[in-house]
């Protein structure tokens, strides 16, 4: 196959002025319907001929009105893509032979970085159409993936040194995420390219790429555990006064951006802001995007436990199996007021909760389990005796409950079926005072009489009692 024939899909994609078909042509993974596409493209030229072959094909295939500078831009970009494919196929062959080395993955990353940098150069110079910034996004996203793979290969092959100190026996001699950190700097250039566009025609402005590039930065910074850099991106966007209205951006860009803003607020313990952002992401997310909805719920469920003491319904958990596996036992214990079950579920899920950075927030939701346990005591006390002339609808629940009753329930709740936890009435009184202070229970404590006087209406806010 001649290179001119191999470039026909690109020419057709370019003629559509649609970034997606062009991005599909520059994809490092062949489409399922044409698994040999990369090999065919690679065989159509060679290292010493690629520039001339691409130039000849584009000069003859692109519209006459296309400027010389734009044609030259695509020549360099497609030549870079051919070189990247060359490294990808060689790495794939080595992997099939179990001979993949860190050098080959670094070569793939470097070649793809060269492709991305050329894209940035020609868009920055104004030689390529404004819509190509979205093609650049897909190219940059693949750079992120290649950087991760290169770092993984480097980590496998890097030497280690023994430390003379007491804290660590072995120390790394190479940075763990060297290539990903390098890629992050490339993404910063793309973000600056978008946010700094001064084109007065908003319809052809690169500012439409701001949120998708910001989302790429978020993914990268979260992988690098550089949360502060993610905050800087949010601050930068908030400071922009000339971006198009947020609601005009594609829904996929808005959902991802609001998700990360919500997670960042969650990590800063600004739960009200986190809930608002996550709810916006949830409401905008496509109904069939189950995986994305599960990611949102991973932070929205703990957030609403804190902000509204809201327990997710069984129906919601059943709709999202991953969320049910993550929170099911914990939520069930909270609903039942089972403190022992809550502690066990929290301990069992601790590794995953810590990894997702929700452990400390979930730990605070123990108050809701305690509220539900105390509510059970309140309900078990029954009703005041009816007075003459009263009917069933006039009955009111007993509002004076001995502290010893709450103490007995607490001992049972923390010990499950065991013998009970050693806790005295003074400690229980302190817990009750805390619950009243936090607004999870309404009433006051009468120490002289050893009772809790709860409100006759709304004793436990949010529970209907």
Task: Please give the C-alpha separations between residue 104 and each of 63, 83, 110, 111, in angstroms, as whole numbers.
Answer: 38, 13, 10, 11
Res. 175 pLDDT band, cuts 50 70 90? low
Q: What is the pLDDT of residues 291-328, one digit of tens each?
A: 999 999 999 999 999 998 889 999 999 999 999 999 99
Q: How much helix, strand and coil, in percent to the nearest 5, is found in the chain?
A: 65, 5, 30
Instruction: Give the number of other Cβ atoms within 10 Å of residue 10's Cβ.
Output: 24
Tell me: pLDDT of 1 over 70.
no
Which of 309, 441, 423 is closest to 374 using CA atoms? 441
% of the chain with per-residue pLDDT over 90: 74
Look at residue 171 in the predicted model and tell me its pLDDT. Answer: 37
Are the CB atoms for 7 and 78 separated by under 8 Å?
Answer: yes
| Helix 50-61 vs helix 8-15: crossing angle, to nearest 10 | 40
Neighbours of 83 (CB within 10 A): 19
State the CB neighbour count (10 A cutoff) for residue 341: 18
Q: Is there a contact between 127 and 73 (Cβ–Cβ < 8 Å)?
A: yes
Q: Tens digits of per-residue pLDDT, 125-166?
A: 999 999 999 999 999 999 999 999 999 999 887 654 444 443
Q: Provide the 3-class DSSP secondary structure of residue 365.
A: coil
- Distances from the Cα of 14 to the Cαs of 7, 30, 202, in angstroms? 11, 18, 22
Span 396-407, average pLDDT = 89
Residue 387 has pLDDT above 80, yes or no: no
Give, as one character, the DSSP assignment of residue 394. G
Query: Is residue 168's pLDDT more than 60?
Result: no
**Proportion of the chain above pLDDT 70, given as a percent:** 93
- What's the CATH number of domain 396-454, 1.10.645.10, 1.10.10.10, 3.40.50.620, 2.60.120.10? 1.10.10.10
The structure tokens 């069992």 sit at 348
CA distance 237 to 211: 9
Output the 3-class SS for 171-224.
Answer: EECCCCCHHHHHHHHHHHHHHHHHHCCCCCCHHHCHHHHHHHHHHHHHHHHHHC
- Position 451 scores a pLDDT of 92
Task: Evaluate if pTM is beyond 0.75.
Answer: yes
What is the model's pLDDT at position 160? Answer: 47
Residue 176: pLDDT band by 50, 70, 90 thresholds?
confident
Q: Residue 160 is inside which H or E element, if any?
A: strand 160-162
Q: 105-139 b/e with 16+ CB inside 10 Å = b?
A: bbbbbbbbbbbbebbbebbbeebbebbbbbbbbbb
The radius of gyration of the chain's CA atoms, rounded to the nearest angstrom, is 30
**Residue 421, pLDDT score:** 52
The tokens 């150069």 sit on which residue?
121
The larger pLDDT score, comparing residue 22 to residue 392, is at 22
- The DSSP output letter for 246 is G
User: Where in the chain are the domains?
Assistant: 1-165+173-240, 250-364, 396-454
Would you say 271 and 360 are in contact if contact means Cβ atoms under 8 Å apart? no
What is the distance between the alpha carbons of residues 25 and 85, in angstroms, rounded to a whole number? 12
Average pLDDT, the chain: 90
Burial 305-321 (b: 16+ CB within 10 A, else e): bbeebebbeeeebeebe
Please give the average per-residue pLDDT across 179-193, as a whole number.
97
CA 254 to chain centre: 13
CA end-to-end distance (rounded Å), the chain: 77
Considering only residues 113 and 174, tell me which one the structure prediction assigns the higher pLDDT.
113
Is residue 314 within 8 Å of 329, Cβ to Cβ?
Answer: no
């Amino acid at each position: 196959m001649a290179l001119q024939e191999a470039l026909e899909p690109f020419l057709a994609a370019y003629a559509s002025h649609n970034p997606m078909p062009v991005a599909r042509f520059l994809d490092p993974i062949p489409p399922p319907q044409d698994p040999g596409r990369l090999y065919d493209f690679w065989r159509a030229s060679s290292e010493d001929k690629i520039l001339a072959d691409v130039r000849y094909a584009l000069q003859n295939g692109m519209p006459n009105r296309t400027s010389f500078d734009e044609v030259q831009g695509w020549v360099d970009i497609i030549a870079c893509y051919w070189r990247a494919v060359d490294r990808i196929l060689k790495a794939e062959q080595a992997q099939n032979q179990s001979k993949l080395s860190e050098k080959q993955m670094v070569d793939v990353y470097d070649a793809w970085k060269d492709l991305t940098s050329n894209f940035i150069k020609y868009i920055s110079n104004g030689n390529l159409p404004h819509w190509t910034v979205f093609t650049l996004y897909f190219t940059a996203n693949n750079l992120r993936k290649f950087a991760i793979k290169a770092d993984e290969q480097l980590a496998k092959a890097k030497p280690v040194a023994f430390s003379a100190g007491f804290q660590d026996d072995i120390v790394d001699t190479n940075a763990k995420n060297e290539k990903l950190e390098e890629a992050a700097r490339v993404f910063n250039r793309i973000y600056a390219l978008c946010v700094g566009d001064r084109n007065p025609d908003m319809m052809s402005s690169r500012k439409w790429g701001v949120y998708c590039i910001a989302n790429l930065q978020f993914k990268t910074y979260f992988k690098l555990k550089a949360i502060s850099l993610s905050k800087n991106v949010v601050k930068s966007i908030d400071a922009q006064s000339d971006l198009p209205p947020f609601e005009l951006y594609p829904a996929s860009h808005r959902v991802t951006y609001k998700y990360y803003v919500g997670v960042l607020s969650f990590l800063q313990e600004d739960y009200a802001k986190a809930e608002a952002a996550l709810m916006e992401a949830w409401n905008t997310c496509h109904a069939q995007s189950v995986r994305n909805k599960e990611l949102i719920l991973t932070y929205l469920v703990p957030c609403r436990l804190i902000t509204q003491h809201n327990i997710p319904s069984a129906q919601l958990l059943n709709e999202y199996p991953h969320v049910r596996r993550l929170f099911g036992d914990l939520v069930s214990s909270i609903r039942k007021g089972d403190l022992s079950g809550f502690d066990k579920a929290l301990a069992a899920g601790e590794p995953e909760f810590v990894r997702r950075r929700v452990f400390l927030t979930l730990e605070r939701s123990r108050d809701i389990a305690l509220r539900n346990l105390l509510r059970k005591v309140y309900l078990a006390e029954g009703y005041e005796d009816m007075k003459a002339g009263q009917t069933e609808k006039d009955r009111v629940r007993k509002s004076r409950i001995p502290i010893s009753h709450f103490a007995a329930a607490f001992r049972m709740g923390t010990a499950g079926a065991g013998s009970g936890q050693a806790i005295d009435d003074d400690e229980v009184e302190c817990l009750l005072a805390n619950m009243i202070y936090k607004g999870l229970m309404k009433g006051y404590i009468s120490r002289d009489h050893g009772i809790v006087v709860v409100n006759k209406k709304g004793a436990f806010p949010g529970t209907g009692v």
